[in-house]
Amino acid sequence: MSAIRAAAERLASVPGAPHVLPVRLTLEDITTPPREEFVIGSMIPFAKSSVIFGPTSVGKSALAAQIAFAFAGGVGSLWGLPLHPGGGPVLVDTAEDTLDDWKRKGAAIQAGGGLDAAQMRRALERLYVMDKSEGVARLSEVVTVREPSSPATPERIVTRRIGQPTHEQENVIAAALEIGALFVLVETASRLVEEEDNPSFAALQSALGRIGRETGAAVTVTHHATKAATRENDAAIESARGGGALVANARNALALFPADPEAAKPYADRFPAEDVVILSHGKATSSTRRRAPLVLVRTDATWGAVFRLPDEVELSPAMERVNAERMDHERQRERDQLHRLFEVVERVLPTRPALSPSWLRDNAARDLGIAKHRIEPLVQRALDAGVLRVNKRSDRGITVTLGADPRKPIAAARADSGESAEDAA
C-alpha cells in the first residue's frame, strides 16, 4: 500500500489533478461479479446513460413516457419484456414537453397503457416532473480554460476546451437523490447543448454519466435522427443527429423508426402502415447482447399515443372503423400515385427509352407530387403490382417499361396486352 499512498501524495500535490487511484481486481471480484441490471429487458442499464432516438413525431417521447410510467408503477413486464422487479421512483427532467404535456401523457397511458388502477396510483406516487421547457436547461457547458502546462513549467500556458457541470446538473442530481430515483428521463438532447457537435455531446454524455454514477439511476436522453436517416428510414446508431459522440459515448442506444414495408406487411389488414414501428436495440452494454428488433403498434388514446404489441391490440368497433377508413385512404393514395407514375413513364418513354428509377427520382418528383426519396419505393411497388416491368438489367441497375395500365379494369388491360386469364394464372 505504500506505493498507492505515494501516488496519492503525488496527485494531491498537482493542482487540478483528479484524485483517482488505481485498484486491483481480486479473485472474489471476478468469481462473483455484480450482475448488471436494467430498467426493461437488457435495455437501459442502471447507473449508466442511454439514448432513445428516431425521426420527429415517430413517438419517442410517448414511448419513453410509457416506460417511465410502467417502471414507476411496478409493472412486471412491458411489450413482453421484463421490467426491473418492483420498479422505483422516476424523475423526468423535461426541456421539451411542458408539465401539461406530461399530464396528457399520463391520461393516455391510463386509458391504454396497460396499467391497472393500483399500478397507475403507484406510478403517480413515484413519478416526478421537472419542467424546464422554458429558460436554461443545459446539464453541461463547454468552456475554454487557460492554465500552466505543469508546475515545472508555469510559463507555458495550455488552452483547452472542457465540459463543466452546470447548476442545472447539480439540481437534477439533488432532486434524484431526494426522491431516490432509479430512472431519470431527460428530454431532449438538442435543448441541453448550445451546439450539436462532438465536444458538446461528449460533455453532455459526461454529465449524464455523472448523474448515473452519483444517483445509481438509469439515465436516458431522447434525441432526433438526421434528415437523411428519416428519409431513408435508417435506424443505424450513426443516424442520430449531430456529433456522433452522443451515441458513441452512451452505454446503451435504442432507435424508434417506422417499420419498412416488409416488416409492416403481416399487419397490413389490421393497422395503417404509419402506425407500425420498430424498436431497435442499436447498442448494448459489454455484458449483454443486443436484443432482436421489436415490432410495436402505435394506438391513439384520447390524450395521446401508446404503444402495444400487435397481438395485444384489441380494437373497439369505432377504432376498427377509423383504421379501415385510414387504410382505404392509404390504398387510394397509393393507387393515385401508381396512376401518375404510369402516366409519367408513358409520356417520357418515347423520348427516353432507357428509363431508370434513379432518373425518375431526380427528374419526376414534381410531376408525381411526392418527395424524391419516396419515388424508388413507389417504382418497386409498381413493379410488384405489374404496373411497370423491368426492361433491362445491368451492373448499373435496371430500366423500366410500361406494364398493365392501372387506370383500366384488369380484364381490359389483359385484352390490350394480349394476355389471357390462363396466362395470368
Q: Is residue 326 part of a domain?
A: yes
Q: Is residue 29 part of a domain?
A: no
375 vs 258, which has greater pLDDT?
258
- Do 283 and 348 belong to one domain? no
Q: What CA–CA distance (Å, rounded) separates 149 from 33?
A: 40
Residues ≥6 apart with Cβ < 8 Å to 97: 61, 105, 133, 187
Q: What is the CATH number of the domain that holds 333?
A: 1.10.10
- Do 322 and 310 belong to one domain? no
- Do 242 and 106 belong to one domain? yes
**Which percentage of the chain shows pLDDT scores above 70?**
89
pLDDT for residue 150 is more than 50: yes
What is the mean pLDDT of the segment spanning 400-411? 78
Q: What CA–CA distance (Å, rounded) separates 291 from 282?
A: 9
Q: Is residue 168 part of a domain?
A: yes
Last residue of a domain, one of 280, 314, 348: 314
- Do 254 and 382 belong to one domain? no
- Do 308 and 328 belong to one domain? no
Q: Which pLDDT value is given to residue 17?
A: 52
Q: Is residue 23 part of a domain?
A: no
314 vs 368, which has greater pLDDT?
368
Q: Is residue 24 part of a domain?
A: no
- Do 177 and 250 belong to one domain? yes
Q: Is residue 20 part of a domain?
A: no
Count structural domains, the chain. 2
Grid cell for residue 338: 401508381
Lowest mean pLDDT among 3-7, 155-159, 279-283: 3-7
Task: Report whether 208 contacts 252 (CB < 8 A).
Answer: no
Q: Which pLDDT value is given to residue 125?
A: 98
255 vs 194, which has greater pLDDT?
255
Q: Specify the pTM.
A: 0.74
- Do 304 and 408 belong to one domain? no
pLDDT for residue 33 is more than 70: yes
- Do 294 and 322 belong to one domain? no
pLDDT for residue 72 is more than 50: yes
Q: What is the CA radius of gyration of the chain?
A: 27
Q: Is residue 401 part of a domain?
A: yes
Q: Using CA of residue 234, residue 228, residue 188, residue 109, what is the dihedral sign?
A: negative
Instruction: Give me the half-sphere count of Cα atoms (radius 13 Å) on the Cβ side of residue 117.
Output: 0
Last residue of a domain, one of 287, 314, 341: 314
Q: Which pLDDT value is given to residue 44?
A: 97
**pLDDT digit string, tens, across residues 83-120:** 999 999 999 999 999 999 999 999 999 998 989 999 99
Last residue of a domain, one of 314, 347, 366: 314
Grid cell for residue 237: 446508431
Q: Which pLDDT value is given to residue 415?
A: 47
Q: Which pLDDT value is given to residue 3?
A: 61
What is the mean pLDDT of the segment spanning 28-54? 96
Q: Is residue 303 part of a domain?
A: yes
- Do 406 and 362 belong to one domain? yes
- Do 95 and 169 belong to one domain? yes
pLDDT for residue 68 is more than 60: yes
- Do 304 and 345 belong to one domain? no
Containing structural domain, residue 139:
36-314
Q: What is the CATH number of the domain that holds 197?
A: 3.40.50.300
Find the distance separating the first CA and the last CA of the chain, reported in whole Å.
85
- Do 155 and 277 belong to one domain? yes
Q: Which pLDDT value is given to residue 238?
A: 94
**Which percentage of the chain shows pLDDT scores above 90?**
56
**pLDDT digit string, tens, across residues 301-354:** 678 999 999 988 876 555 566 667 767 777 788 889 899 999 999 998 888 878
